[in-house]
Each structure stands twice: as C-alpha cells, then as structure tokens.
C-alpha cells in the first residue's frame, strides 16, 4: 500500500492491523493525518516499527520555497479562472484549459447539471439571437458540466437570463 496523496485517505490503524495480520505485506507512507508542525514536535503513528513499512516525512510542501511556489500557483489559477474561465488542475470540478478571449468575441461560461440535451438547448438559444459560435468546450464530471462558449456578438444580459432559466443551468457568467 502506498499513500502519497492526503493523510486522511488511509486509515492507518486499520492498515497497521492488516500488516500485522499479514493481509497486506507492506506500506510506504509519505502523508499522515497528524503531522508534526516543527522538528521539536513528536511524530507518532501506528505504522512505526512495523516490518516492510517505509515512513517518510511529508516536508516537500512545507519548505519556504514550496510555500512561495504554491502561493504563486494558486494565485495564477484563480486569475485564469476569473479572467478566462480556466479550471485546469481542479480537483472537484471539470477541467478546462481556456485561452484568453479573442478581441471582439464574447465568452459564455455555464455550470450545469450533466444531462442530455443541454448543449442543444443552449446552442438553439444562441442561434435565436443571431450569434455565431466561434468555439465551444465542454468538461463534465458525473453530475456537473462546465461549458465555455465563444460567440461573435455582444449579448448583454438577455442571453444570460435565458440560459439561467434553463432547468439544468446552475450558474452562468459572460466575459466581455
């Protein structure tokens, strides 16, 4: 068993019992539910002193350099979302890498229930106002869809309000 993701993903008490009973032959753990905040704090885990177990300190993200890089990366991702609608590397949301909006174009961003027929309905709404779709990207998860659509016509709030009234629509945003 290898856990390098999050400390609470694996029940370490249960894993220790599984190793002691021979059900699992070994483990490598780099993250823990409770990690020492400094070198002076004790490090205790039920995984200590077990055969075929490698425990490594989860310090990679705790260095000053890593914290600075993480802060910069998070700020960059937030700016890309606000300015373009990009959701790259999102953990719990469909991932779309969206390029900056071309001059003279307008972007519609929509979060909706992942149900058949939604895109057909939205495309019809855009067509009804006489706009042309320049590009369209869709990302989905089991229950949620995320649509980025670039159109060639300023639509104001009329189209936004129409989309928001759709029974599958959750949130709509227009970028100018």
Positions marked catalytic = 6, 35, 58
Q: What would the two tokens of residue 139 be?
A: 């990302």
Alpha carbons within 13 angstroms on the beta-carbon side of residue 174 total 18
Of the candidates 93, 164, 107, which has an alpha carbon nearest to the alpha carbon of residue 135?
107
145, 118 in Cβ contact below 8 A?
Answer: yes
Residue positions counted in the chain: 176
SS3 (DSSP) at 139: strand
CA angle, 120 as apex, 118 and 121 as ends, to 5°? 65
Other beta carbons less than 10 A from residue 76's beta carbon: 11
Return the C-alpha torsion angle 107, 111, 114, 115, nearest 10.
-70
Looking at residue 34, what DSSP letter applies? S
């Amino acid at each position: 068993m290898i856990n390098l993701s999050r400390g609470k993903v694996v029940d370490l008490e249960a894993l220790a019992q599984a190793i002691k009973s021979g059900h699992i032959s070994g483990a490598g753990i780099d993250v823990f539910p409770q990690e020492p905040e400094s070198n002076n704090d004790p490090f205790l885990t039920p995984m200590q002193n077990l055969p075929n177990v490698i425990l490594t300190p989860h310090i990679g993200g705790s260095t000053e350099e890593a914290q600075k890089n993480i802060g910069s990366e998070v700020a960059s991702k937030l700016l890309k979302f606000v300015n373009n609608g990009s959701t790259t590397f999102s953990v719990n949301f469909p991932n779309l890498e969206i390029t900056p909006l071309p001059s003279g174009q307008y972007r519609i961003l929509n979060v909706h229930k992942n149900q058949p027929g939604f895109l057909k309905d939205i495309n019809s709404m855009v067509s009804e106002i006489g706009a042309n779709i320049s590009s369209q990207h869709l990302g989905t998860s089991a229950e949620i869809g995320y649509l980025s659509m670039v159109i060639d016509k300023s639509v104001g709030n009329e189209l936004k309000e129409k989309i928001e009234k759709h029974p599958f629509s959750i949130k709509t945003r227009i970028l100018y």
